[in-house]
Amino acid sequence: MKLSIGIVGLPNVGKSTLFTALTKKKVDVSNYPFATIDPNIGIVEVPDDRLSQLNSVYKAPKVVPTVIEFVDIAGLVRGAHKGEGLGNKFLSHIREVDVICQVVRGFSDADVTHVSGKVDPQSDIETINTELIFADLATVSSRMKDIESKAKSGDKESLKSLSVFKKIQKLLDQGEMLSQAGLSRDELLVIYDVHLLTIKPMMYILNVDEQEAGQPVADRLVISAKVESELSELSSTEAVEYLRTLNLESSGLDRLIAAAYDQLGLITFFTAGPTEVHAWAIERDSTAPQAGGKIHSDFEERFIRAEVIRWQEVVEFGGESGAREKGKIRIEGKEYIVQDGDVIYFRI
């Protein structure tokens, strides 16, 4: 499963600086058949210390982390939905991302022009969210036109969809972000395939001056794009040292990924053996066959059982045979809910 994050914001707020820093360590794309070569798309590995610990046991030649995709788009300006600036064209690039990450300017540097003249995060957020709402309104009205003619002929399904779209249109008209509107599962299913923007989970990144990068702000991920850019040039030991001088425990990339996993309710399970140690992302509360399905559709369809060990026990007992001798392997069936950190051997 590829987790994808779209970066939006006003012009000149540091989106590309952050994107470049985050995606500097390019993944070995050969491991990922979907990797596109596009300057605005970067794929990075999700750092996970458990992989190297598992591989200290297996010494596999191939270690495959989960990955995250970032999509950088041109700055949006007020009126983008009416064709102002370049942004609106690029909105189509984020229709299919899982999370939208809005970068907001918090740094003071007078040499960098602010489009509206002063640093005002809340007002900037409102500008961007309004543009996203307008973009959704345009999408919704064009879809409603399509459905209306069918609804007129009395098609039940279309009548139902139309009433949902009317509600959505009203919410957007009132300036609501759909992700905050408490829509029901049925309503979400109706609008699923139009890929609305404001339905996506939104994370806000406040791009602050370097010396403020360690200070928390409620509901915001506080990052200094400049710091991230410097970090991306350092070795991992140097980076740890530099983070310490800034009073930071982890890099912005690590915090951003953790927040995105959290937003989307994702956990990680592993498959491990002498040829490959592999991390897989999956939605929380998934069953063992669903986990298998992430690897291969056969693993879901022909699932018999899963043999599950906690990753710490694989490490402690030197692999699955050691863990088996100690009775640490659990045999689990179709109903088993996969836990973060499970190492799973699928039997099909």
Ligand X SMILES: Nc1nc2c(ncn2[C@@H]2O[C@H](COP(=O)(O)OP(=O)(O)OP(=O)(O)O)[C@@H](O)[C@H]2O)c(=O)[nH]1
Chain residues in the site for Mg ion (CB under 5 A)? 15-16
**Which of 74/208 has CB closer to Mg ion?**
74
Secondary structure (DSSP) of 150-188: HHHTT-HHHHHHHHHHHHHHHHHHTT--GGGS---HHHH
**Which of 109/249 has CB closer to ligand X?**
109
Question: Could you tell me the smallest distance in angstroms from the CB atom of residue 128 to ligand X?
Answer: 11
What does 107 interact with, of Mg ion, ligand X, none (CB < 5 to 8 A by kind)? ligand X
Question: Could you tell me the smallest distance in angstroms from the CB atom of residue 230 to ligand X?
Answer: 10
Q: What are residue 235's phi and psi, to 5 degrees?
A: -75, 165
What does 14 interact with, of Mg ion, ligand X, none (CB < 5 to 8 A by kind)? ligand X
**Which of 76/282 has CB closer to ligand X?**
76
**Which of 227/344 has CB closer to ligand X?**
227
Question: Could you tell me the smallest distance in angstroms from the CB atom of residue 97 to Mg ion?
Answer: 16
What does 226 interact with, of Mg ion, ligand X, none (CB < 5 to 8 A by kind)? ligand X
What does 9 interact with, of ligand X, Mg ion, none (CB < 5 to 8 A by kind)? ligand X
Question: Could you tell me the smallest distance in angstroms from the CB atom of residue 232 to Mg ion?
Answer: 16
Structure tokens at 72: 């950088």
Question: Could you tell me the smallest distance in angstroms from the CB atom of residue 306 to ligand X?
Answer: 45
CA nearest 226: which of 246, 240, 241? 246
What does 85 interact with, of ligand X, Mg ion, none (CB < 5 to 8 A by kind)? none
What does 168 interact with, of ligand X, Mg ion, none (CB < 5 to 8 A by kind)? none
**Which of 229/290 has CB closer to Mg ion?**
229
Q: What share of residues in the chain are helix, strand, coil (percent, to 5)? A: 45, 20, 35
Structure tokens at 162: 């139309």
With tokens 């100690």, the residue in question is 326
Q: How far is CA 343 from CA 52, 66, 334, in A?
A: 14, 15, 16
**Which of 57/223 has CB closer to ligand X?**
223
**Which of 15/50 has CB closer to Mg ion?**
15
Q: How far is CA 239 from CA 175, 236, 242, 252, 326, in A?
A: 42, 5, 5, 12, 40
Torsion-angle region of residue 25: left (phi > 0), alpha (psi -120 to 50) or beta?
beta
Torsion-angle region of residue 105: left (phi > 0), alpha (psi -120 to 50) or beta?
beta
Question: Could you tell me the smallest distance in angstroms from the CB atom of residue 141 to Mg ion?
Answer: 30
Question: Could you tell me the smallest distance in angstroms from the CB atom of residue 290 to ligand X?
Answer: 38
SS3 at position 205: strand
Contacting residues toward ligand X, per CB under 6 A:
9, 11-17, 74-75, 107, 109, 112, 207, 224-226
The rounded distance, in Å, linking the Cα atoms of 108 and 114 is 10
The residues that bridge with 44 in the sheet, in sequence order, are 68
10 Å Cβ neighbour count for 297?
A: 10
CA nearest 277: which of 315, 323, 242? 315
What does 213 interact with, of ligand X, Mg ion, none (CB < 5 to 8 A by kind)? none
